[in-house]
Amino acid sequence: MFRNLTPVVRAILFSNFIVYGLQWLTDDRLLDAFALWPLGPVGCLECHPFQPWQLITYAFLHGGLMHLAGNMFALFIFGPDVERVLGGRRFVVYYLACVIGAALTQLWVANSIYPEPYATLGASGGVFGLLLFYGMTFPHRQVLLIFPPIPMPAWLFVTLYGILELSLGVFGTAQGVAHFAHLGGMATGYALILYWRWLGRRR
């Protein structure tokens, strides 16, 4: 099963598990400097200021074992096929672009909507970008949901997931989940796909 892993996906998986181990060993002290903190000197932000590197480092931190497992399972399932299509270097660019796009979206939303500052962490922004790429590249592949166990084509799965995230974000349900960051990762991935297609047509 693990033989099907591609090099970059394997490196991201290992990095996330190693960082989670460091979180556990340091009693989550890594969050102070490397989670994504909102902009501006509000409340506890004097203790946890925003730093530019957090636009990437937050994606290697997780808020619990189930949070980590869910993101890494999705990366394990969808990531290798995406990397085979893009190649290693372009996969890194795509994944990190989705991570940064998700972070910027979350910063904008957090500063605009949420009165209390809180840290954002997790690889979901990058993972949602991968889901979008997978759905656009392999639209008719069957994806089997875990719950409920219903098979559906990848394009429909990605579309429904995006609509769900938008509705949860707008209506404020499932508090504590950065729904707009997920959408930001998908939107960034879509923009990058369109850009690469445009470059391909020019050539």
Catalytic (active-site) positions:
124, 182
Cα 24 from chain centroid (whole Å): 21
| Burial zone of 131 (CB within 10 Å; 0-12 exposed, 13-18 middle, 19+ buried) | buried
Using CA atoms, how far apart are residues 27 and 135, in angstroms rounded to an integer? 38
Contact criterion met (CB below 8 Å) for 125 and 101: yes
DSSP state of 147: S
Using CA atoms, how far apart are residues 129 and 16, in angstroms rounded to an integer? 17
